[in-house]
């Protein structure tokens, strides 16, 4: 396939090679280097990539650097411990940890302000829906030459997590606080309803349990839908995929949110809220509601695992995301955040940043971070035994990694796409608006974002 055929069907489908390069063949940056010539940025001669890697030959790392984070999963304590361990392990580089926002949106706003106001960080915490716009705006660097210069063992990162940051055959971030959604449930309520202590295999099966739970548990709802502003676009991918649809077609910008399958999937959930009255919608945080006993079950991030268990006054059950009536494989989206390096800082600072990122994401630190927060281990060689011993429910998240799928392009590559999804889902689930009409409107909005803001830059 040549470059002229990469975009077709009104320009909405993007050739997989432009996004995933050689990763589909299982070829890592280290493997490419072994083949000669270092990390590839050419897409095998097909993608037309023009990514220019930075040459770090002869560069000496800066003495002091800053790491901006929003402390995902209440990670400030463990992140501080890791930074202190790095600073104590050597005397060449000192890292300063900076809380740059209360959430991903705040840190993104501060980073944008710093582009013109100066005072850029050296390492920044990048959420799944923000890193691509930084790349499009030429604000972060490709990391493959750093991988080579610092001898990162890229083969040891979980493949699906590292490949999430691959575009034009170059990596733009490294996985760090990575997560998947989980199905959380109240084991006490399950017992009262006469259910086994297992989670549901499918959403239809759970639908059969909701009446029993509503009648016996004493909770306000059998199920609490996630707070739409923070979770709708992410977690509902599972429901759409289970009905054989999605916000967009897999690995493309072909928007499919208004398909008959999508409408059926979302109508299924809407009926729980308005027809059966067994489900509610969280206003702020569904895990807080769940832990308080408001609902018998919910869906939340693996990053919420420790908080859910310690906050609840009941035994918390955790299960993989339920399947749909059509699809049962690869129905769980990846999520969370990684770390990247700004472009408009010196090579010395970039090299120092890369040195710390290598330390931050080594197996020992990966396990330490996961044990403290509930985020999934990002390294294959990281032994999860300590995590599982402390929190047995974490095994579910680890096992579920094999069933993950990179998120729909419409959510992670369209600036503001996630907000559009949240707004339209709010109209359906909190205002009882027509599903088909809202999904038609969402499709129009997402296609406009692609045409106006993304297509000119790819």
The predicted pLDDT at position 231 comes to 79
The predicted pLDDT at position 46 comes to 29
Q: Do 291 and 160 sit in the same domain of this protein? A: no
Domain-located, residue 25: no
Q: N- to C-terminal Cα distance for the chain?
A: 17
Domain-located, residue 260: yes
Q: Do 194 and 171 sit in the same domain of this protein? A: no
The predicted pLDDT at position 429 comes to 97
Domain-located, residue 402: no
Q: Do 356 and 431 sit in the same domain of this protein? A: no
The predicted pLDDT at position 222 comes to 98
Write the pLDDT tens digit of every residue in 135-158. 999 999 999 999 999 999 999 999
Domain-located, residue 164: yes
425/418 Cα distance (integer angstroms): 11
The predicted pLDDT at position 14 comes to 39
Q: Do 277 and 150 sit in the same domain of this protein? A: no
The predicted pLDDT at position 238 comes to 98
Domain-located, residue 394: no
Domain-located, residue 400: no
Nearby residues of 226 by Cβ (< 8 Å), 6 or more positions away = 232, 235, 282, 286, 298, 299, 300
Question: Any idea what the CATH number is for the domain that residue 365 is in?
Answer: 3.40.190.10
Q: Do 295 and 164 sit in the same domain of this protein? A: no
DSSP symbols for 248-284: B-TTS--B-TTSHHHHHHHHHHHHHHHTS--EEE-SS
Mapping DSSP onto H, E and C, the string for 299-310 reads: EEEHHHHHHHHH
Q: Do 95 and 198 sit in the same domain of this protein? A: no
Q: Do 201 and 121 sit in the same domain of this protein? A: no
* H or E element that contains 319: strand 316-319
List, edge to edge, every strand of the sheet that includes 316-319.
Answer: 279-281, 221-225, 295-301, 181-186, 316-319
Nearest one of 262, 259, 247 to 413, comparing CA atoms:
247
Largest CA distance in the chain: 70
Q: Is 198 helix (H, G, I), strand (E, B) or coil?
A: coil
Q: Do 303 and 367 sit in the same domain of this protein? A: no
Q: Do 305 and 340 sit in the same domain of this protein? A: no
Domain-located, residue 293: yes
The predicted pLDDT at position 117 comes to 81
Give me the residues of the chain with pLDDT under 50, please. Answer: 1-48
Q: Do 80 and 91 sit in the same domain of this protein? A: yes
- Considering its fold, how many domains does the chain have in total? 2
What residues make up the domain containing 150?
Answer: 57-179+335-382
Q: Do 311 and 350 sit in the same domain of this protein? A: no
The predicted pLDDT at position 251 comes to 86
Q: Do 253 and 329 sit in the same domain of this protein? A: yes
Domain-located, residue 4: no
């Amino acid at each position: 396939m040549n470059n002229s055929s990469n975009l077709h069907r009104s320009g909405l489908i993007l050739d997989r090679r432009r996004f995933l390069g050689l990763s589909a063949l299982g070829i890592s940056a280290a493997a490419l280097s072994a083949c000669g010539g270092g990390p590839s940025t050419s897409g095998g001669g097909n993608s037309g990539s023009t990514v220019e890697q930075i040459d770090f030959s002869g560069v000496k790392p800066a003495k002091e650097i800053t790491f901006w984070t929003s402390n995902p999963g209440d990670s400030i304590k463990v992140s501080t411990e890791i930074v202190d361990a790095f600073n104590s392990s050597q005397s060449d580089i000192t890292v300063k940890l900076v809380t740059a926002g209360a959430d991903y949106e705040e840190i993104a706003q501060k980073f944008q302000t710093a582009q013109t106001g100066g005072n850029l960080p050296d390492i920044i915490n990048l959420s799944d829906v923000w890193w691509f716009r930084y790349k499009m705006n030429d604000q972060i660097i490709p990391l493959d030459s750093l991988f080579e210069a610092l001898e990162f063992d890229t083969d040891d990162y979980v493949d699906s997590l590292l490949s999430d940051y691959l575009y034009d055959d170059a990596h733009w971030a490294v996985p760090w606080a990575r997560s998947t959604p989980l199905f959380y449930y109240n084991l006490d309520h399950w017992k009262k309803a006469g259910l086994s202590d297992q989670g549901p295999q499918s959403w239809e099966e759970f639908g059969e349990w909701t009446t029993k739970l509503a009648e016996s548990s004493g909770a306000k709802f059998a199920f609490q839908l996630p707070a739409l502003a923070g979770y709708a676009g992410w977690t509902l991918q599972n429901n759409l995929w289970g009905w054989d649809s999605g916000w967009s077609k897999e690995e493309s910008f072909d928007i499919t949110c208004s398909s008959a399958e999508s409408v059926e999937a979302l109508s299924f959930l809407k009926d729980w809220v308005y027809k059966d009255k067994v489900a509610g919608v969280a206003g702020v945080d569904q895990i807080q509601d769940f832990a308080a006993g408001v609902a018998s079950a919910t869906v939340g991030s693996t990053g919420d695992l420790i908080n859910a268990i310690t906050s609840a006054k009941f035994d918390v059950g955790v299960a993989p995301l339920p399947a749909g009536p059509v699809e049962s494989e690869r129905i769980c989206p990846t999520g969370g955040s990684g770390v990247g390096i700004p472009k408009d800082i010196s090579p010395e600072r970039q090299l120092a940043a890369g040195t710390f990122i290598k330390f931050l994401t080594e197996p020992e630190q990966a396990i330490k971070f996961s044990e403290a927060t509930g985020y999934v281990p990002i390294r294959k060689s990281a032994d999860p035994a300590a995590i599982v011993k402390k929190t047995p429910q974490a095994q579910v998240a680890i096992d579920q990694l094999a069933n993950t799928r990179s998120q729909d392009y419409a959510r992670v590559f369209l600036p503001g796409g996630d907000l559009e999804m949240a707004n339209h889902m709010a109209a359906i689930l909190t205002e009882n608006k027509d599903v088909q009409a809202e999904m038609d409107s969402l499709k129009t909005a997402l296609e406009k974002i692609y045409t106006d803001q993304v297509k000119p830059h790819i």
